Amino acid sequence: MATKHSYMLCGLFLLLIADRAFSIIPEEEQSPTFWNVKGKEAINKALNLKPNLHRAKNLILFLGDGMGITTVTAARILKGQLAGKTGEESVLAMETFPNVALSKTYNVDRQMPDSAATATAYHCGVKANYGTLGVSATARRYQCGSVKGNEVKSVLHRARMAGKSVGIVTTTRIQHASPASSYAHSANRHWYSDSDLPPEAVQGGCRDIAYQLIHNTDINVILGGGRQYMLPKDTSDPEYSTEKGDRLDNTNLITEWLKNKKNAKYVWNKAEFDAVNEADTDYLLGLFEPKDTRFELDRNPDTDPSLTEMVEKAIKILQKNPNGFYLFVEDNGRIDHAHHATQARYSLHEAVEFDRSIERASQLTSELDTLSVVTADHSHVFSFGGSSERGNPVLGTSFEVALDNKHFTTALYGNGPGYQIVNGTRPDVNNTISTSKDYLQQTAVPLESESHGSEDVAIFAKGPMAHLFHGVQEQSYIAHVMAYAACIEPYTDCQLEVVPHDHAISMHFGFLVLPLGLMLSLLSVM
């Protein structure tokens, strides 16, 4: 039974916690005036919002694989804390987008989705079965014969057919599920190379994903990982002497991609990447690892470009096309992979870098003629909570102890490899342990790999027709809005007007371009 003395100690502890919390709260936030002014500013901003009814010249789809709303919140706080602030008041670039909706992520045959069928939804506008790429739900996983006749075309492919330049930037292997659904049609997301095809698929005439990358759609910019699936099995990797390609057809797909292309370049390291002159490059293939690229926390900036650097290079190449461009940007693989490993630190740093790339893209484009959409394919069973004061490290521990009298982190997983209960007990943890680079967050259920979540994810949008993103929508709706905004198949009759060129320039550079006659008149009276 608790004693009077123990109650006093508990009360003293809570008072100390409260004093510490109040000591870091910005003084202005303690006044009602601060919040009233903030509220009025938000109201005025909302009242001044006007839908952009122009046709989108450019389309950019940013996809954070596994970036559920919990991940967005935790990444926001981490971004602020990396800048020396408490973090909660921070704002991500994606959160400045004025239009927000929710996306329902289930697959046709599964409540909990995977990255292949979800990618088919947001790329192609059609929901599909778990593990399948670029095919309708009539197709069945692993059944090669079910692919023919059930292929569905992505917005990327349709944009290219409409005369736009197109590109893919990813931190995973370029043949991974999320980018692959923009160009491939496959009964199995893991058929990366011809060496991955089972005999029945070979006999049925199915092609591997890497082969389809080269032959299905004329893609201008391809940046990510995945060299292994492009090289013959007896060809050594240029970076790792012990690594080789794994193609059985003895075809170098990199060489095949370069054939018959003007102003085309292939690069595999940072030095070659930096040397690429966007002005005289129309095609760029950059493959920086045999499989996935390195996590941002492990990336060597001297040898591998960041996601933000790849996005900048891609936009500068693609935007030379007077018809505009379509760009797919994915940091979903590495956000997702770290969550599967229950390594929240890695995942959240990936999300912060992903947001940097969004900010850089916004600086390089105009909201007047570029529709930018940020979303996720699915969530994870990642939670962020527990008792914590303002400014608590996003990867830190709760100030309360659990019923077993041990500390716990505010970031936890419902399942995964971080399960640490042995003989009915779990280890204690402190901030030093929980913020270490390789720490695995504790989980409730032991699994070899943490699972995806099944809840809705957010859609953030800005630019032409961004107001169409509202409410709760099927994930396949994303592709339809992007196609409609650009007036490409199946919405070539959308009748949206193209924004005047001079108006776009003035909006992009933040000044008004005056007609020549008026400008001369003004100069004459000066």
226 vs 224: CA distance, rounded Å: 7
Q: What is the pLDDT of residue 25?
A: 82
Mean pLDDT of 125-149: 98
Kindly tell me the sign of the dihedral angle through the C-alpha atoms of 34, 39, 41, 42.
positive
Mean pLDDT of 166-178: 97
Is residue 112, in this structure, part of any structural domain at all? yes
**Is 349 among the annotated ligand-binding positions?**
no
DSSP 3-state of 81:
helix
What residues pair up with 100 in beta bridges, in sequence order? Answer: 460
Band (514; pLDDT cuts 50, 70, 90): very low
Is residue 164, in this structure, part of any structural domain at all? yes
Q: Which CATH number belongs to the domain containing residue 316 in this structure?
A: 3.40.720.10
Show Cβ contacts of residue 383 under 8 Å, excluding neighbours closer than 6 positions.
Answer: 70, 411, 412, 413, 414
- Percent residues over pLDDT 90 in the chain: 88
Is 510's pLDDT higher than 50? Answer: no
Q: What is the pLDDT of residue 512?
A: 40
**Is 336 among the annotated ligand-binding positions?**
yes
Length of the chain: 526
Q: Identify the domain containing residue 329 by its residue range.
A: 54-381+453-495
Mean pLDDT of 115-132: 98
Active site residues: 115
Is 6's pLDDT higher than 90? Answer: no
Q: What is the pLDDT of residue 26?
A: 87
Which three-class secondary structure string do you get for 176-194? Answer: CHHHHCCCCCECCCCCCCH
Residue 226: name the closest of 310, 142, 316, 293 by CA. Answer: 293
92 vs 96: CA distance, rounded Å: 7
In a shared domain, residues 295 and 417? no
Total number of domains constituting the chain: 2
In a shared domain, residues 351 and 321? yes
274 vs 267: CA distance, rounded Å: 9
Rg (CA), the chain: 25
**Is 337 among the annotated ligand-binding positions?**
no
In a shared domain, residues 108 and 67? yes
103 vs 284: CA distance, rounded Å: 32
Beta strands in 93-250 (DSSP E): 99-104, 165-173, 221-225
Cis, peptide link before residue 464, omega less than 30° from 0:
no
In a shared domain, residues 284 and 307? yes
Is residue 118, in this structure, part of any structural domain at all? yes
Mean pLDDT of 270-297: 97
Q: Of the candidates 450, 470, 505, which is a domain's last residue?
A: 450
In a shared domain, residues 98 and 59? yes
**Is 330 among the annotated ligand-binding positions?**
yes
In a shared domain, residues 390 and 376? no
Show Cβ contacts of residue 14 under 8 Å, excluding neighbours closer than 6 positions.
Answer: none
Band (179; pLDDT cuts 50, 70, 90): very high
In a shared domain, residues 470 and 439? no
In a shared domain, residues 418 and 445? yes
Read off the pLDDT of residues 424-460 as tens digits, 9 standing for 90 and up: 999 999 999 999 999 999 999 999 999 999 999 999 9
Beta strands in 87-137 (DSSP E): 99-104
Tell me the DSSP string of 324-389.
Answer: -EEEEEE-HHHHHHHHHTT-HHHHHHHHHHHHHHHHHHHHHS-TTTEEEEEE-S-EESEEE-SS--
Mean pLDDT of 497-521: 52
Is residue 19, in this structure, part of any structural domain at all? no
**Is 497 among the annotated ligand-binding positions?**
no
In a shared domain, residues 269 and 404? no
In a shared domain, residues 401 and 363? no
In a shared domain, residues 280 and 230? yes
162 vs 487: CA distance, rounded Å: 9
82 vs 84: CA distance, rounded Å: 5
Within 239-306, where are the H helices? 253-258, 270-275
**Is 339 among the annotated ligand-binding positions?**
no
66 vs 335: CA distance, rounded Å: 6
Kindly tell me the sign of the dihedral angle through the C-alpha atoms of 287, 290, 291, 296.
negative
Residue 388: name the closest of 35, 20, 32 by CA. Answer: 20
Q: Identify whether the C-beta of residue 120 lies closer than 8 Å to the C-beta of residue 135.
A: yes
Mean pLDDT of 101-113: 98
Is 301's pLDDT higher than 90? Answer: yes
Q: Identify whether the C-beta of residue 307 lies closer than 8 Å to the C-beta of residue 357.
A: yes
508 vs 344: CA distance, rounded Å: 37
Question: What's the predicted TM-score (pTM) here?
Answer: 0.92
Tell me the DSSP string of 416-443.
Answer: ETT---BTTB-----HHHHTSTTPPPPE
Is 519's pLDDT higher than 60? Answer: no
205 vs 463: CA distance, rounded Å: 42
Mean pLDDT of 404-411: 96
Read off the pLDDT of residues 29-70 as tens digits, 9 standing for 90 and up: 999 999 999 999 999 999 999 999 999 999 999 999 999 999
68 vs 378: CA distance, rounded Å: 6
Mean pLDDT of the chain: 92
Is residue 63, in this structure, part of any structural domain at all? yes
Is 517's pLDDT higher than 80? Answer: no
**Is 65 among the annotated ligand-binding positions?**
yes
Chain centroid offset of residue 134 CA = 19
Read off the pLDDT of residues 312-343 as tens digits, 9 standing for 90 and up: 999 999 999 999 999 999 974 589 999 999 99
Burial of 60 (0-12, 13-18, 19+ CB in 10 A): buried
Helix or strand run (H / E) with residue 202: helix 199-203
Distances (CA, A) of 494 to 107, 157, 284, 373: 29, 19, 32, 19
- For the beta carbon of residue 284, count every other beta carbon within 10 angstroms: 24
Burial of 187 (0-12, 13-18, 19+ CB in 10 A): buried
